[in-house]
Structure 1
């Protein structure tokens, strides 16, 4: 496999990783570990169902908004805010089954200025430190080769719906890890190098001391724990699904990093083949790679 093939394998793996973690975890979202064990034993198959009554292989907002970001970047990589926003609005118009409260409020508030809409949502709800911008930010690391661009666009796409700086900071940290993985660094090394000196540094030595919920800090803590203490793509997304709580989003975020590291070839075939939006994922992967190469 040449350089093109290796990079495509990582980019495609990352996008499919988001979708697989989302589809697998969608079955157990809002459940407790005890409820999951009683109903499913230990969930390892993409079976749909759950609170959203998903079809097997159907994805939720995590994957669909990731595709919105990817496709918006491709339209105008230098200033993608409006292109991304247009796709957010189009997706919202499809009446999706699953949409987070912060994102819903931001979309309702939008009247031409995304940052104003996010600020108003923050004021309306009293907080905006959710994981909804983190779940969709991975395409930024795939599209750009300059870390300054990755950091700038990661923050920008976050601020479109999540005014709280903690959401933007998590997006930057996550995409810095993805940047390292795309350059071939080992997963544990990439995570450790980026966590040093941050509020998440303790995770290098201890387990999360929080519930697997939608608060971005808690979500990110579980994502880091899963990728540091698993030895395969399948193990990471299965552990995420069996956490319950915000399992689809934690699975999507952890699955994205795992997919970049292990590559599409490292995702079990039965998982990848089950995903219903394969065509959009395939197209986005090739076009993101082409954009990346054009900017080198």
Structure 2
């Protein structure tokens, strides 16, 4: 790659990580609210102000970003086989007593006894195919780290199956990261999305506003993510639309923000968003590590 292309790639990787964090921090204010409640209290939320059900500090992120960093850290430690270091980071984060942790993930952590896939299976039996969005929210580092589609798909599925047995969760992670892979290669956002949903259950369901709640169910979440990305004009509109949906707005914002951050690039993210994120030094460090790892795989 030449120098300009190197800079563009780094801008996309950094944009993806910051996109997750910004969508998470902005949407964290409105999580569990209805769209009507948001309008009454905030009008149309555009600024990262914290608060909400978790009483966040302005710029504080939730489980979406923190688990994304766990996946990224595990990949950076052992790119060939990152399950053990990812899992170790999951448990370290869990034992730090975070404010926000999804029910499926919490139960999977409680069920974990040296075998992640068994923990996911037992959790699925306990909850009855919950199909939560907790793996889609954290899977982006697999697309940022690996140049080969086979490696990216393998790690995307693996990190998902560590806590979520439901195949709909694993499939969504692969579709999402295949879109990210196309965006990292310079493809247009609309083309990348429509190409990867063709022949899947999401084909034909994302052009019109979804007829479902913006819930934590993986199918509902992903429909709202893709619809938002297709109908927003820039990065800011993507994360603002997600935040003002309510429901599982932090996770929808994080997932949509990740792809928007790759596509529009870190340079296009307003500093009013990027500068306020409390863990930006950690995001910078991980972005640089993933960038060097990706270059080493070429």
Using the size of structure 1 for normalisation, the TM-score is: 0.99
The corresponding residue for 1:98 is 100
What RMSD in Å do the two structures reach over aligned CA positions? 0.8
Counterpart of 1:68 (choices 52, 60, 70) is 70
2:152 counterpart of 1:140: no
Please state whether the residue corresponding to 1:2 is helix, strand or coil.
Answer: helix
The corresponding residue for 1:15 is 17
- Are the counterparts in 2 of residues 203 and 224 from structure 1 also a CA contact under 8 Å? no
The corresponding residue for 1:211 is 213
Unaligned runs of 5+ in 2: none
* Cα distance in 2 for residues equivalent to 1:72 and 1:255: 22
Map of 1:43-82 to 2, 5 A cutoff?
43-82=45-84
Please state whether the residue corresponding to 2:275 is helix, strand or coil.
Answer: helix
- Are the counterparts in 1 of residues 207 and 230 from structure 2 also a CA contact under 8 Å? no
* Cα distance in 2 for residues equivalent to 1:168 and 1:175: 11
Which stretches of structure 1, 4 residues or more, deviate above 4 A after TM superposition? none
The corresponding residue for 2:267 is 265
The corresponding residue for 1:113 is 115
Please state whether the residue corresponding to 1:265 is helix, strand or coil.
Answer: helix
- Are the counterparts in 1 of residues 206 and 223 from structure 2 also a CA contact under 8 Å? no
The corresponding residue for 2:35 is 33
Using the size of structure 2 for normalisation, the TM-score is: 0.98
Q: Deviations over 1:174-196 (max 9, x none)?
A: 00000000000010110011111
Q: CA deviation at 1:207?
A: 2.3
* Cα distance in 1 for residues equivalent to 2:125 and 2:89: 24
Please state whether the residue corresponding to 2:155 is helix, strand or coil.
Answer: helix
* Cα distance in 1 for residues equivalent to 2:95 and 2:182: 36
Q: Deviations over 1:222-268 (max 9, x none)?
A: 00000000010000000000000000000000000000000001111
- Are the counterparts in 1 of residues 207 and 227 from structure 2 also a CA contact under 8 Å? no
* Cα distance in 2 for residues equivalent to 1:295 and 1:112: 30
The corresponding residue for 1:176 is 178
Unaligned runs of 5+ in 1: none
The corresponding residue for 1:292 is 294
- Are the counterparts in 2 of residues 128 and 163 from structure 1 also a CA contact under 8 Å? no
Q: Deviations over 1:129-171 (max 9, x none)?
A: 1000000000000100010111111000000000000000000
Length, aligned pairs only: 296
Q: CA deviation at 1:204?
A: 5.0
Bigger mean CA deviation after superposition, 203-212 or 149-158 = 203-212
* Cα distance in 2 for residues equivalent to 1:71 and 1:258: 22
* Cα distance in 2 for residues equivalent to 1:14 and 1:102: 25
* Cα distance in 2 for residues equivalent to 1:55 and 1:285: 23
